[in-house]
Structure 1
Amino acid sequence: MIPTALAFIAGYADAVTFVGAGGIFCAHVTGNFVVLAADLARGAKADEWLKLATFPIFVLAVFLSSHLHRRVGRSSRLLLLLQAVAFAVAAAVPLALKGPAAHQVVVVFAVVAMGMQNAMHRVAPTLGPMTTVMTGNVTQWFVEKVIPGAPENVGKHRSLGFIILAFSLGCLGGAFGVQHWGFAAFLAPMGLSLLVRSRL
C-alpha cells in the first residue's frame, strides 16, 4: 500500500507542476534539461532559469534529507511530515503571490517534496522500488513478463504493476486537479503523505 501511495503522489505532483507551471517536472527533474533545450531550440526566452534551478534544489533536498536520516531515528516519518508541509506551502503560495513569482515558489517547494521522496527510497529500502520515475520499473515489469523470475518474486512483480498503475493514475489526477483547482490541488498529495506517515 505504501509504495503504491508514494507512486501516486509522485505522478500527481509531476503532472501538477508540468501542467500548471509551464512544463516543469518536479519529480523527474532531469527531464527539465530536455524541456529547456527544446524551448531554446524553438526560440523561447533564454530566461527559463527555473528549469535549470530545479536540479540544484532537488540535490539540496536529497542532501538534507540524507543528513536527517543519519541523525534522526524513524526518519521516513519525519521526511513524510516535511513533504506534507512542502505540499501545503505549495498549495498556499498563490494566496500570497500572483503571476510568475507564485509559479516559481510553488515549483521550488514541489521539487523539495520530491527530493525528499527520492531520498526516502535510498535511505529506507523497505519502502520498496523507486516511485518517482517509472522508466526502470516499467522495464523491469515487462522483462519479468517475458522472463519470469523465481516463484517467490510473483508478489513483487504484482506490486510493481500496482506502482506503475498508481503513478499513471496520479498523473491523471494531478493534470485534472491543477486544471480545476490550480495549485490548491497540492492538498491531495499533502493529505496522502500524512496518511502514508500514519501507516509507518
Structure 2
Amino acid sequence: MSGEAPGSVRTAALAAFTAGFVDTVGFVGLFGLFTAHVTGNFVLIGAAIVTHHTGIIAKLLALPTFIVAVAATSLFLRHCRRTGRPQVAPVLVAEAALLTAFMALGLTLGPFKGGDQPAAILVGLTGVLAMGVQNAAARTVFAHLSPTTVMTGNVTQIVLDLVSLTEGEISRADALARIRKMAPPVGAFALGAIAGGLGFAAVGFWCILAGIVAILAALLVNRPSGASV
C-alpha cells in the first residue's frame, strides 16, 4: 500500500476506538485493570500497595499474560509468512473471538465484589489477551499505521509537527501527512474511552459488543478486494 489510504485511516481509527473502549471497561469494571496499556498497571500496583486497594493480583499477572499473547501472535504470523497464508484476517478474527470471550465471561461470572476474585482475574486477563493480539498486530501486519493502543506518542508527534509548522523547520507536506495519520486514532481512542465508561455504566459487559463490532468492521475494511493492506 502506498501512502496513507482511506482504508488505513479507518483501520487505525477502529482499532484505537476498540483499545480505548476495552481499556476503560477493564478499568471501570475490573477494579482499575488496564487491558491495553498494561504497563500502566505498574503505577496502580504501587498505589494499591499503599492504599490497600483490591485487584493487585490481576495487575501483576497482566504483563506476563500480555507477553504470552504477543509472543503467540508473533509466532502465528511468522508461520503465516512461511506458508504464504493471509495474516490480517486471522489476527482480527482472533481478537474478535477473545473480545467475545471477555464479554461472555464477564456476563457469566460477574458481578464482582473485588479485583482479587479468581473469576475477576480470569475475565481481566482474557481482555489482556485480546489487547495483546492487537498490540502485536500493530507492530507487524499494521506497522504502517499509527499506534492504536497508547496515544502518548501520537499526541507528542502531533504537537511537535504543529510547532514545527509554525517555524518552518520541516516540510509542510510531511508534517500534515503525519498529523492526518495520527489525529484520527487519537480522536477515536478518546471516543472509545468515553463510550466504554458510559457503556459499562449502562449495560455492563454487554457493552463489549461495540468493540467486537469495531474489529469486525476493520476486518471488512481489510478484505482482499478492498486493497487496504
- TM-score of Structure 1 vs Structure 2, range by shorter chain: over 0.9
Amino acid at match of 1:63: A
Moved more, 184-193 or 13-22: 184-193
Deviations 1:83-111 (A, max 9, x none): 00011111111343243344222211110
Q: 1:108 to 1:77 in 2, by over 3 A?
A: same
Q: For 2:184, which of 149, 162, 187 is the aligned residue?
A: 162
Q: Which residue does the alignment assign to 2:3?
A: none
Larger Rg: 2
Find out whether 1:175 has 2:197 as its counterpart.
yes
Tell me, in whole angstroms, the C-alpha distance in 2 between the residues paired with 1:68 and 1:82.
11
Q: Is the 8 A contact 2:65 2:128 kept in 1?
A: yes
Tell me, in whole angstroms, the C-alpha distance in 2 between the residues paired with 1:105 and 1:180.
23
TM-score normalised per structure 1: 0.93
Find out whether 1:53 has 2:61 as its counterpart.
yes
Q: 1:174 to 1:67 in 2, by over 3 A?
A: same
Find out whether 1:152 has 2:183 as its counterpart.
no
Deviations 1:13-40 (A, max 9, x none): 1000001100010000000010011011
Find out whether 1:115 has 2:132 as its counterpart.
yes
Q: Is the 8 A contact 1:10 1:132 kept in 2?
A: yes
Amino acid at match of 2:172: P
Find out whether 1:74 has 2:86 as its counterpart.
yes
Structure 1 residue 126 displacement after superposition: 4.9
Q: Which residue does the alignment assign to 2:5?
A: none
> What's the secondary structure of 1:41's corresponding residue?
helix
Deviations 1:54-87 (A, max 9, x none): 0000000000000111112322211110100011
Moved more, 125-134 or 50-59: 125-134
Amino acid at match of 2:58: L
Q: 1:173 to 1:127 in 2, by over 3 A?
A: farther
Q: Is the 8 A contact 1:2 1:127 kept in 2?
A: no
Higher helix share: 1
**Structure 2: where are the runs of 5+ without partners?**
1-9, 223-229
Q: 1:141 to 1:110 in 2, by over 3 A?
A: same
Q: 1:172 to 1:44 in 2, by over 3 A?
A: closer
Q: Is the 8 A contact 2:137 2:143 kept in 1?
A: no
Structure 1 residue 136 displacement after superposition: 0.6
Quote the RMSD (CA, aligned, Å).
1.6
Q: Is the 8 A contact 2:20 2:189 kept in 1?
A: yes
TM-score normalised per structure 2: 0.82
In the alignment of these two chains, the number of paired residues is 199
Amino acid at match of 1:78: P
Tell me, in whole angstroms, the C-alpha distance in 2 between the residues paired with 1:7 and 1:95.
24
Find out whether 1:139 has 2:160 as its counterpart.
no
Moved more, 142-151 or 55-64: 142-151
Deviations 1:108-127 (A, max 9, x none): 11101110111111112455
